[in-house]
Structure 1
Amino acid sequence: MIMVKAFGRFRDPLGLEMKVDLAAGSTVSDLLETLASISSDLRDQIFDSSGQVREDVNVMVNGRHFLTLKGPQTHLSEGDEVALFPAVVGG
């Protein structure tokens, strides 16, 4: 089980916290695809038109940004915590 915590625009479709059961060896990409399957609106909030994670989406795996790890190919393990939130922008 992976614990997903959602913030900002992701909280409405996902709730504050949810547990996701993924197969052994799953990656951040697998998790995001699973979450995106909830609705087409959520898919559009996570992925851009080329299928890449949108630049304004932050994904933290156990407190570390997924891009500082192996990006979408970061492997997840039982008990990992993934936080999903929009980038903070503005001035």
Structure 2
Amino acid sequence: MRVKFYATFRELMGTKEVEVHGVKTVRELIEYLAEHYSPEIRKQLLETERVAEGKPVDGMILVNGHNVLHLKGLDTELEEDDEVHIFPPAGGG
């Protein structure tokens, strides 16, 4: 599957896009990215004070254009031909 990173996550990962194979869920994808690219991505997506029940990630993850918050969260299933977009949290007012 193709995984694209935006803003600070692009800098953190050192690339704007990677190909990943063999992961079955969004949770597995995050663990794969942390292990093979940067452990910091797990911390920034899953381990901040803004992560809570009903908001399993700090930022936004889209699978084929659909926010995982409206799917199965971290348990959203992934297929080899999916396209995943990972955005850091946005601020503003």
TM-score normalised per structure 1: 0.81
Cα distance change of structure 1 residues 17 and 65 upon mapping to structure 2, 3 Å threshold: same
Name the SS for the 2:2 alignment partner. Answer: strand
Runs of 4+ in 1 over 4 A off after TM superposition: none
More strand by share: 1
Q: Which runs of 5+ in 1 are unaligned?
A: none
**Alignment coverage as a number of residue pairs:** 86
| TM-score when normalising by structure 2 | 0.80
SS of the residue corresponding to residue 10 of structure 1 reads helix
Could you tell me whether the CA contact under 8 Å between 2:9 and 2:87 is conserved in 1? yes
Tell me the residue number matched to 1:71.
Answer: 73
Partner of 1:3: 2
Question: Cα–Cα, structure 1 residues 79 and 70, in superposed 2: closer, same or farther, change >3 Å?
Answer: same
CA–CA separation in structure 1 for the residues paired with 2:17 and 2:10: 8
Cα distance between partner residues in 1 of 2:48 and 2:88: 17
- Which letter does structure 1 place at the counterpart of 2:29? L
Q: Structure 2 vs 1, CA of residues 75 and 86 (structure 1 numbering), >3 Å: closer, same or farther?
A: same
Please, which runs of 5 or more residues in structure 2 have no aligned partner?
Answer: none
1:44 corresponds to which letter in structure 2? Answer: K
For the residue of structure 2 that corresponds to 1:76, the secondary structure is coil
- Structure 2 CA distance for partners of 1:7 and 1:49, relative to 1, 3 Å: closer
Whether 2:27 is the aligned partner of 1:29: answer yes
Contact residue 36 and residue 46 of structure 1 kept, 8 A: no
Specify the SS of the correspondent of 1:60: strand
How far is the alpha carbon of 1:36 from its aligned partner?
Answer: 1.6
Q: 1:49 to 1:86 in 2, by over 3 A?
A: closer
